[in-house]
Amino acid sequence: MHAISQCFQKSKSCGFRSRAQSSVLRLLTGVALGLAVSQVSLQAADEKTPDPKQAALTAEAAGSDFDLQGEYSGTLNTGGESLRLGVQVIALGSGRFKAVGYPGGLPGDGWGGEKRIEVEGELKDGAVHFASDEGGGILRNGQLEIVGEQGVKLGELKKVIRKSPTLGKKPPEGAVVLFDGTTAEHFKGGRLTDESYLREGVTSNETFGDFTLHMEFMLSFMPHARGQGRSNSGAYMQGRYEVQILDSFGLTGEHNECGGIYELHKPAVNMCFPPLSWQTYDVDFQAARYDDAGKKVTDATVTVRHNGEVIHQNVKLPRGTRAAPVKEGPEPGPLYIQNHGNPLWFRNIWVVPQTKAAE
């Protein structure tokens, strides 16, 4: 509750004006208080949840909770003023959900990186209900209706399905096409799905020094899993430096979450889309430099765009990822896509080798 209060005190940065603050603050505070009691029972229910490793790779297999999970965006009106609000609704399994609110808009689309607002709710009669004495919200039929005091409707947030601006990007001239949906022969351990996608747990036959990489991936839907057990994989540059792949939809964005440089750098913004959405990584990688004696003189650097947004800008990689399959060294290395025990799909993977800079 303290975090919510701080957000509204900083009305300018969060996008609120003075007359709108009081009503919306009471609404969100009331919702959180109304849910505080239910969270105790939700934690107890966690002990009875189905197998957390249960994963779905299609909407048909995912069930009804998947239809409610997703991103919502719209404008609230109160006191004659308006506020743009983005909400990410995360499925927690067995009809339980968490909603994360972003004043100003969704991450990468208006949110300024300030405080987030988190509440939980449950599915009843085909809708997710958030209720309190001060107001609440109802999520159903692709929209989230927000209601204030005395049942006054503050606005509706519509479900939005965002797509990366680089989705489906074609390889330029000179690119090494590692996977185009026709064969997995360019990877050691390569396996095709029935849908002609690439499975996790593969290593490219070709190795690279400096390069630009484009790859597309789809996270599986694992609502009962938590943390590192939720659709986990990773893309290792040269087999040495991991850009984490994980269902981190709605989370804060840490070094071990989607887009993080594992153990080294967290992403500037968490751009993870909901599971079963196709997502993109576009990576510019410069290899570490070594002298004639084999001593490293310059760290590797990387720029990463996740779903079109820069999440790492020319950051240094002082060491390889722990448990990486290839140790740091002057030799070129492969693209390694980790198998962490969870199913994922990959497609449209290509690399443009770059001329190494002069030593």
User: Domain containing 207 — which CATH number?
Assistant: 2.60.120.560
Would residue 205 count as lying in a domain? yes
Tell me how far CA of residue 184 lies from CA of 144, 177, 205, 237, 337, in angstroms: 42, 11, 11, 19, 13
Residues 182 and 155 in one domain: no
- Domain identity same for 129 and 6: yes
Both 298 and 232 in a single domain?
yes
Residue at 70 is within a domain: yes
Q: Are 276 and 283 in contact (CB under 8 A)?
A: no
Does residue 232 sit within a domain? Answer: yes
Predicted pLDDT of residue 356: 58
Q: How far is CA 48 from the centre of its chain?
A: 27
Output the DSSP codes for 216-238: EEE--B-TT--GGGSS-EEEEET
Domain co-membership, 152 together with 285: no
Q: How many residues does the chain have?
A: 359
Q: Is residue 280 part of a domain?
A: yes
135 and 10 within one domain: yes
Does 225 lie in the same domain as 134? no
What pLDDT is recorded for position 133? 54
Same domain, 217 and 152: no
Domain boundary among 160, 192, 217: 160
pLDDT along the chain (359 residues), means of 10: 36 42 48 37 48 88 93 90 92 92 95 88 87 70 85 92 99 98 98 97 98 99 87 97 97 95 97 98 98 97 99 98 96 96 96 72
Enter the pTM of the model: 0.86
Task: Give the pLDDT score at 134.
Answer: 53
pLDDT of residue 22: 46
- One domain for residues 189 and 135: no
149 and 31 belong to one structural domain: yes
Q: What is the DSSP letter of 265?
A: B
Domain identity same for 180 and 323? yes
| Domain ranges, residue 261 | 176-354
Residues 6 or more apart whose Cβ sits within 8 Å of residue 194: none
Separation CA 92–CA 328 (nearest Å): 39
Q: Is residue 166 part of a domain?
A: no
Residues 224 and 310 occupy one common structural domain: yes
Q: Tell me whether residue 168 is in a domain.
A: no
* Spatial CB neighbours of 226, under 8 Å, sequence gap ≥ 6: 52
Number of structural domains the chain divides into: 2
pLDDT at 48: 59
Does residue 266 form part of some domain?
yes
| Residue 189 within a domain | yes
